[in-house]
Amino acid sequence: MIIDGKQYQSIWLDENDRSRVLVIDQRRLPFFFETRELCSVEDIYNAIRDMTVRGAPLIGAAGALGMYLATLEITGRTNVASHLNNAASYLISCRPTAVNLSWAVSKVLESLKGIDDPELLAETAMITALEICETERENCRKIGENGLPLIREISERKGGKPVNILTHCNAGWLACIDYGTITAPIYLAWEKNIPVHVWVDETRPRNQGARLTAWELGKQGVPYTLITDNAGGHLMQKGMVDLVFTGCDRATRKGDIANKIGTYLKALAAFDNNVPFWTLMPSTSIDFTLSDGLTEIMVEERDQEEVTMVEGYHDGEIIPVRICPDETRAGNWGFDITPARLVTGLITEKGICRADEESIGNLFSEKTK
C-alpha cells in the first residue's frame, strides 16, 4: 500500500542485505511509523510473540522468513536436520491459533528436504518464503475482486448511499503483507467511487481496530467511525450496518471460524438482525484437517496485563495505564469460534462459498483430495 507517497508491504527483505528481514512495528502505530530489522530466528520469534508483527497471513510470512534466517545460522558443525526441525517447532510455538504460521513454516521446511549444501538451503528457503509472501499478497488482491460485487450490489440497492461495513480487529494490509482481506474489497470499492463507510470496532484488549484499522483506512482516505466493541449490536438493530466483514485465523473444513475475541458476538448480533456476516480469508487460513472449531481449535490465552492495562499516546510517548484495581485478576482469550451456521459465507482468493463442508470442498477440491 502507499503510505505518504511510498509503497510498503508489512514485511520484506532488505535489498542491500538479504540477511535482514524488515517489518513495520505494529506496536508503535498509529503514533509512530517505524520499521524493525529482524536478523535471527530468535528475532522473528520475539517479533511474533510481542506483536511487533501480527495477523494470520503476516505471522505465516514472518515464520517462513524465520526459516530462511535459520538456514543462515548453519555452520560447518551444525546438524542441519535437527537445527531446521528445532527452528520450525520453535517458530510454530509462538502463537497457536492462526494456522498460517504452522502452514508457512512447514512449507519452507518441506522445500528443504534432501538439501545439504548450506548455500542451496539458504537460496531455497529464501525463494520459498518470498513465494509465500507473494502468494498471500496476490490472495488478498483476488479477495478484493471477489468481494467487490457484494458491496456494489448493496450500493446499487441503496441508490448510491454509503454502504456501511462493520469490522472487528485488524485484517488489513498490515496483517496481510498487502491489501488486507477485509480491506481489499473496501479499497477497491472506494477506488471505483462506490461510497463506503466502515464501523471500526476498537477491539479490546489490544485495540487493533482503533490503532491499526483506523490508521489504515485513514491513510487511504476511506471514511470510518470508531466504535466501542459493544456498539455493533445496537447499530445493527438500527439498520446502520449493511455488512459485517471479518478476518480469520483458522477455519475448519466445515466453516467454523476462529478470529479475534468478540467476533462471535458480532456474528450473533448479525444473525439476529439479518445482516450478512462474511469472513474474508485466503485458503491458507483453512485447516482442512479440522472439522469442529469449538473442540478442535486451540484458542490462545494471553497475558492478563493486556486486559488490566491500556496503552495510549501522551506528550510524544506511548503510555500504559492501569484501568482496574491493583490486584485484579483478568482472563484474556485471544480468539473465539464463530460456528459456521452464523457465517453467511467465505470470500476467498478462489471465489465465494457457503460456510459448509460441501461448498468449501467444492471450491478447494484440490486440497480435500
List, by residue number, the catalytic residues. 249
Q: In the set 112, 260, 277, 336, which binds ligand MRU (CB under 6 A)?
A: 260
Contact present, 23 and 35 (Cβ < 8 Å): yes
User: What is the C-alpha separation between 63 and 59, in angstroms, rounded?
Assistant: 6
- Across-strand partners of 6? 3
Q: Does 55 bind ligand MRU (CB under 6 A)?
A: yes
- Across-strand partners of 244? 166, 277
Single-letter amino acid code for the residue at 162: P
Cβ burial, residue 118 (10 Å; 0-12/13-18/19+): middle
Q: Does 96 bind ligand MRU (CB under 6 A)?
A: no
CB of 263 to ligand MRU, least distance (A): 7
- Across-strand partners of 164? 197
CB of 159 to ligand MRU, least distance (A): 32
Select 164 or 181, whichever has its Cβ closest to ligand MRU. 181
Restricting to residues 107-146, name those near ligand MRU by CB under 6 A. none
Select 74 or 227, whichever has its Cβ closest to ligand MRU. 227
Q: In the set 45, 57, 255, 283, which binds ligand MRU (CB under 6 A)?
A: 57
Contact pattern for ligand MRU over residues 164 through 193, marking x by CB under 6 A = -----x-x---xx----x------------
User: What is the C-alpha separation between 215 and 210, in angstroms, rounded?
Assistant: 8
User: What is the C-alpha separation between 331 and 125, in angstroms, rounded?
Assistant: 39
Contact pattern for ligand MRU over residues 198 through 227, marking x by CB under 6 A = ----------x-------------------
- Across-strand partners of 311? 320
Select 204 or 260, whichever has its Cβ closest to ligand MRU. 260
In this structure, are strands 250-252 and 286-287 parallel, antiparallel, or unpaired? parallel
CB contact burial 313-337 (16+ within 10 A = b; e otherwise): eeeeeeeeeeeeeeeeeeebebbbb
Q: Which residue's C-alpha cell is 479475534?
A: 260
127 HSE (CA, 13 A, CB side)? 9
User: What is the C-alpha separation between 145 and 185, in angstroms, rounded?
Assistant: 6
CB of 95 to ligand MRU, least distance (A): 7
Contact pattern for ligand MRU over residues 330 through 369, marking x by CB under 6 A = ----x-----------------------------------
Q: Which residue's C-alpha cell is 500504559?
A: 320
> C-alpha cell of 127?
525463494
Restricting to residues 270-329, name those near ligand MRU by CB under 6 A. none
CB of 316 to ligand MRU, least distance (A): 25
CB of 48 to ligand MRU, least distance (A): 9
CB of 141 to ligand MRU, least distance (A): 13
Select 52 or 111, whichever has its Cβ closest to ligand MRU. 52
Binding site for ligand MRU (CB under 6 A): 54-57, 98, 169, 171, 175-176, 181, 208, 247-249, 259-260, 334
